[in-house]
Amino acid sequence: MDNGNYYERLDRFLRNVLNDLKLSSIYKLLRKGNVKVNGKRVKDESHRLSLGDVLQVYYLGDSSKMKRLEETRELVPQKIPLDILYEDDTTIAIDKPAGISVHPGKGIQIITLIEGLLAYGREKGFEPHPVHRLDKHTSGVILFAKSPASAREISRLFREHEVEKIYLTLVKGCPQIESARLESLNEGILEVLEYSLEKRYREVSLLKVRLHTGKKHQIRRQMAQINCPVAGDDVYGDRTFNRNFKKASGLKRYFLHCQHLGFTCSSGLKIAVDSELPEDLLKVLASIE
């Protein structure tokens, strides 16, 4: 998917979403800087939106206090390019690009991956069911089931840690041990991953991570705990380092990619899906060689 393709003008999108407001009121919101796109104020009504962009609109509510418009829309099937890595009668695997969310979240999101799958499924005669998630800025393999029964089975495999999950990540520095198993408690839950060093660079290291559990932000949190935060991660990592590294390497997000998912169905069918590093991350590696 090329999520750099423009979706439509900002003012036109706002007119569709805020259909209870007068056009003059929408332009007033823009002039006053009450509209943010991906966290940055945008006043230009002709600003072009891209797939995956997130809007926040601040407006006066009934109490005359400034409020933030949250995501309230229903899921709408939307035709978007999908890079299908694997598909059979029960399962479909997509090569997810960075910058697009799987589901709507905070703010007004232009299009989400599930909406693209809903449109594709409508054409092919199935309804997609998410069985796991990737964060908005994480790229790589993501699975969807094609029926409730398939969703229950694959969800069980994830829950019982019977899905092989392998990620590639670039981290600050280099772990003291080239390969290790990390275990940590998070809210009473044991989180486990294994990593191995793929290549060491001057300031960073490329690691292969085998995720045994798979909780929210697990790789980013656990790598930060051993003082090797994921490059580009400003939540758990080193913001000063990230700012300098991004400027030098051209990295636009945190460096995390789901390279492989594999599992065995109850029928005995073995499914293995792989995703190559996307162009943006390959360019980062080339720049630091």
Q: Which residues are catalytic?
A: 135
- The alpha carbon of residue 47 and the mean position of all alpha carbons in its chain are separated, in whole angstroms, by 23
54 SS3 class:
strand
Residue 202 CA to residue 25 CA, distance in Å, equals 53
In total, the chain counts a number of residues equal to 289
Q: In 3D, which of 288, 276, 289, 283 has the Cα closest to residue 139?
A: 276
Residues 6+ apart with CB under 8 A from 176: 226
Closest CA to 101 of 71, 134, 76: 134
Distance of CA 155 to the CA centre of its chain: 19
Which residues, other chains included, contact 199 with Cβ-Cβ below 8 Å and sequence gap of 6+? Answer: 205, 206
Distance, in Å, from the CA atom of 142 to the CA atom of 224, rounded to the nearest integer, reads: 24
In the chain, the amino acid numbered 208 is: K
